[in-house]
């Protein structure tokens, strides 16, 4: 599976986390390397801001070299990665987010945990990478009070992940929710600048090799 890693809060009324939730969710991200001979952790994101409003979402990932932004339209199921390169703005359409080379199995448990006053259910996700026959296990705590249509990492999960792990290229990345604010989001936050050049990933790679 291509994870979006590429490259919660005071007590509120229950309906804050309804399927119509609008606001900003902030995650802290930590990383550990399973292979000490490799070190890519320094370039990995340390914070993630997840904006939700209606059918749109925006994901900002903060790294030492800048912010990586993805705009999500849940109705058209379109994801566009925004980057600045050589003083130009590019938008890359992300497709095939579900990797056919990986098999994901989800086991739901009866365990419940609370993260910043949000009651979550626990799931164990077993992932098998077919090319290298490597298996990884991720622990995910999720809520049903936010629509899973915004869920970009575990599409088959019956909920929205609040506290979770992503295992990718020998790196375990742990996402922990630290704040959740129910507020109106400016629609302009989901707009793409008219000067942005939109490419498919294939076309963008070809452009970079010219």
**pLDDT of the chain, 210 residues: tens digit per residue:** 445 444 433 233 333 334 578 999 999 999 988 776 556 677 889 999 999 999 999 999 998 888 899 999 999 888 999 988 778 899 999 875 555 677 889 999 999 999 877 899 999 999 887 777 778 888 999 998 888 889 888 888 999 999 999 887 778 899 999 998 889 999 999 999 999 999 988 888 888 877
> At CB < 8 A and 24+ separation, what contacts does 121-125 make?
121/159, 123/157, 125/154, 125/157
What predicted TM-score, i.e. pTM, was given to this entire model?
Answer: 0.82
Give the domain ranges of the chain: 14-208
Beta bridge partners of 51: 24, 58
The two three-digit tokens of residue 194, written as one number = 């008219």
Give the Å distances, CA to CA, from 191 to 35, 69, 180. 40, 12, 22
Could you please state the CATH topology (level 3) that the domain comprising 14-208 is classified under. Answer: outer membrane lipoprotein receptor (LolB), chain A (2.50.20)
Which parts of the chain are beta strand (E)?
23-33, 47-53, 56-63, 66-73, 78-85, 88-94, 102-115, 118-129, 134-143, 160-168, 171-182, 197-200
């Amino acid at each position: 599976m291509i994870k979006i890693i590429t490259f919660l809060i005071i007590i509120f009324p229950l309906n804050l986390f309804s399927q119509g939730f609008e606001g900003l969710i902030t995650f802290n991200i930590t990383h550990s390397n399973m292979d000490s001979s490799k070190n890519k952790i320094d370039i990995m994101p340390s914070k993630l801001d997840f904006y939700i409003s209606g059918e749109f979402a925006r994901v900002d990932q903060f790294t030492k070299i800048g912010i990586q932004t993805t705009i999500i339209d849940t109705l058209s199921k379109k994801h566009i990665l925004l980057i600045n390169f050589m003083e130009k703005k590019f938008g890359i359409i992300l497709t095939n987010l579900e990797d056919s080379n990986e098999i994901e199995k989800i086991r739901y448990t009866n365990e419940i945990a609370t993260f910043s006053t949000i009651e979550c259910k626990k799931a164990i996700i077993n992932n098998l990478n077919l090319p290298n026959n490597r298996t990884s296990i991720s622990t995910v705590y999720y809520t049903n009070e936010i629509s899973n249509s915004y869920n970009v990492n575990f599409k088959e999960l019956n909920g929205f992940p609040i506290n979770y792990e992503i295992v990718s290229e020998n790196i375990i990345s742990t996402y922990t929710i630290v704040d959740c604010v129910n507020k109106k989001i400016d629609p302009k936050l989901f707009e793409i600048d008219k000067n942005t050049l939109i490419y498919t990933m294939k076309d963008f790679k070809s452009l970079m090799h010219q």
